[in-house]
């Protein structure tokens, strides 16, 4: 009959083996990316636009690129009013990252077609996970004057 000490050592070895077997599976977790309120604001001259949205990732991830059907190049803009490019936007796990005027945002510098209010713009966010794997997140953004949230806060009135 095994001693209690031998049983304890056997149980510990089994537990360690179980952890070692499941560890590779845990590293394969895929980030769940949620995009809300995507919208596009066209510049007054109609030749360029900026893209805004709110993004949340379930895992640590990074936006490393953006593609669109309306512009050949879609640079990531740093926070601030001057046009300064960024290489990426960090997405901390479980945190809402807001792309907004004056904050991080995407630039559509040379539109290949004119955009009017209500048009839809297809984008693809290239998101890199902490293990280096990448996924493309499709986004369909509406051309607006301001965000839907701002419209809700400041509804247009026709009172005279």
Residue-range domains of the chain with CATH? 50-147 (2.60.40.1890)
pLDDT of residue 151: 52
* Cα–Cα dist 133/57, whole Å: 14
- Please state, as a whole number, how many other Cβ atoms lie within 10 Å of the Cβ of residue 49: 21
Of the given ranges (78-87, 104-113, 143-152), which has the lowest mean pLDDT? 143-152
Contact 135, 65 (CB under 8 A): no
Its pTM stands at 0.74
Residue 18 — very low, low, confident or very high, per pLDDT cuts 50/70/90? very low
Q: 5, exposed or middle or buried, with CB in 10 Å at 0-12, 13-18, 19+?
A: exposed
Task: Name the strand (E) or helix (H) holding 130.
Answer: none
């Amino acid at each position: 009959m095994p001693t209690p000490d031998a049983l304890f050592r056997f149980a510990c070895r089994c537990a360690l083996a179980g952890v070692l077997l499941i560890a590779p599976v845990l590293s394969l977790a895929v980030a769940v990316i949620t995009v809300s309120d995507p919208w596009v604001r066209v510049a007054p001259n109609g030749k360029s636009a900026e893209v805004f949205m709110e993004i949340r990732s379930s895992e640590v991830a990074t936006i490393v690129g953006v593609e669109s059907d309306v512009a050949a190049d879609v640079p990531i803009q740093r926070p601030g009013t001057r046009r300064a490019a960024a290489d990426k936007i960090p997405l901390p796990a479980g945190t809402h990252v807001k792309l907004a005027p004056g904050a991080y945002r995407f630039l559509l510098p040379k539109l290949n077609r004119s955009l009017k209010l209500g048009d839809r713009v297809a984008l693809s966010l290239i998101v890199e996970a902490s293990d280096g794997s990448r996924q493309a997140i499709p986004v369909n953004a509406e051309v607006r004057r301001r965000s839907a949230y701002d419209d809700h806060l400041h509804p247009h009135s026709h009172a005279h």
